[in-house]
Chain A
Amino acid sequence: MVHWSAEEKQLITSVWSKVNVQLPGVCSAAPWTEKPFFDNFGNLSSPTAIIGNPKVRAHGKKVLTSFGEAIKNLENLKATYAKLSELHCEKLHVDPENFRLLGDILIIVLAAHFTKDFTPACQATWQKLVGVVAHALAYKYH
């Protein structure tokens, strides 16, 4: 069971309340995440293509929405992600290392978005959150 201090919860919710980011940056920075898992997404041939791709935007929205759910259930992430974990293992066959990669890239996107407001304490809290989410998503793998 992960412990979240009051300050950490504050940092998470205050950043999240201002988030309106797009996720397309992810696929470009880690190109190997694209191929097997997003074969039916259409054009992912260049960063410009990726950013403009409506399927990428839609999936980005799904991923971020799921993060929103995580933030509402910080005390119970494993249960929150149980079904998604099974899906990613049994159907999607995603290597859990990619969840960590995605988390790291989300941090960079947040840093670019919030600039100086993304303090070291903020970064530390969010890095902890993405780590815990990645762990929860990998939990049901067998």
Chain B
Amino acid sequence: MVLSANDKTNVKNVFAKISGHAEDYGAETLERMFTTYPPTKTYFPHFDLHHGSAQIKAHGKKVAGALIEAVNHIDDIAGALSKLSDLHAQKLRVDPVNFKLLGQCFLVVVAIHHPSVLTPEVHASLDKFLCAVGNVLTAKYR
């Protein structure tokens, strides 16, 4: 997945706009993912998955933080997320399909809170970025 210069600019602009709410959006993304795709809950048997749970908030913060890290190092996402890549491969072993589901929910959250930001072109760039992140996180699976 190669991000063009335009893609990178679009993604950075989106994250600049959402930076103040990234943690909330992370939590909302997770909540929507659990509601829309119930099988994703199987990775969190130890979590309280009710709306507003402290664990979802904390985990949403982690997810948002990782995405921001990737944006800040958008020229080397693999390098920036290398430790997370190891974690997902060796410990968490999340089925790769779930990253697409998380990505879809993140796009929905951005669309809901910043509808005018998500033009077709920006949507395409953001989607590519999320695919790239997913690819990095599953790169070391085998």
As a 0/1 sequence over residues 42 to 58 of chain A, the CB contacts with chain B under 8 angstroms (1 = contact) are 00000100110000000
Q: Shortest distance in angstroms between B30's beta carbon and chain A's nearest beta carbon?
A: 10
Are B35 and A121 within 8 A (Cβ)?
A: yes
A112 in contact with B35 given A29-B123, A123-B108 (CB within 8 Å): no
B118–A123 contact, CB under 8 A? no
- Distance in angstroms from B67 CB to nearest chain A CB is 17
Majority SS of interface residues in chain B? helix
Q: A47-B119, A124-B35 are in contact. Are A111 and B108 (CB under 8 A)?
A: yes
Q: Does B107 contact A (CB under 8 A)?
A: yes
Smallest CB separation, B107 vs chain A (Å): 5
Contact present for B108 and A107 (CB under 8 Å): yes
Q: How large is the interface on B (under 10, 10 to 19, 20 to 34, 35 or more residues)?
A: 20 to 34
Is A25 within 8 A of B120, CB to CB?
yes
CB-CB under 8 A from A105, the residues of chain B are 123
Mark B residues whose CB is within 8 Å of A: 31-32, 35-37, 104-105, 107-108, 111-113, 115, 118-121, 123-124, 127
A118, CB-defined interface residue at 8 Å: yes
A29 with B124: in contact, given A123-B32, A123-B36 (CB under 8 Å)? yes
Query: Chain A's nearest CB lies how many Å from the CB of B88?
Result: 23
Q: 0/1 per residue, A105-117, Cβ < 8 Å to B? A: 1011101111110
Q: Report the separation of the CA atoms of residues A31 and B128 in the bound assembly, to the nearest whole angstrom.
A: 12
Contact: A51 with B111, CB < 8 Å?
A: no
Q: Tell me if A127 and B127 are in contact (CB < 8 A).
A: no
Leading 9 A-B pairs by shortest Cβ distance: A28-B120, A111-B111, A112-B115, A112-B111, A120-B35, A124-B36, A47-B120, A111-B108, A25-B120
Contacting pair B35 A113 (CB below 8 A): no
Interface majority SS (helix, strand, loop, mixed), chain A: helix
Q: Write out, one digit per residue, whether chain A residues 71-115 have a CB within 8 A of any chain B CB (1) or not (0).
A: 000000000000000000000000000000000110111011111
Q: Return the chain B residue nearest A107 by Cβ.
A: B108
- Verify B32–A120 contact, CB threshold 8 A: yes
Given A104-B104, A112-B111, A124-B36, decide whether A31 and B118 contact each other with a Cβ distance below 8 A: no
CA distance A124 to B118 in the complex (A): 21
Contact of B36 among A47, A50, A115, A127 (CB under 8 A): A127
A131 → chain B, closest Cβ, in Å? 10
> Are B31 and A108 in contact, with the CB atoms below 8 A?
no
Q: Specify which chain B residues have a CB less than 8 angstroms from the CB of A118 in the assembled complex.
A: 108, 112
Q: How far is the CB of B122 from chain A (nearest CB, A)?
A: 9
CB distance from B114 to the nearest CB of A (A): 9
User: Shortest distance in angstroms between A98's beta carbon and chain B's nearest beta carbon?
Assistant: 15
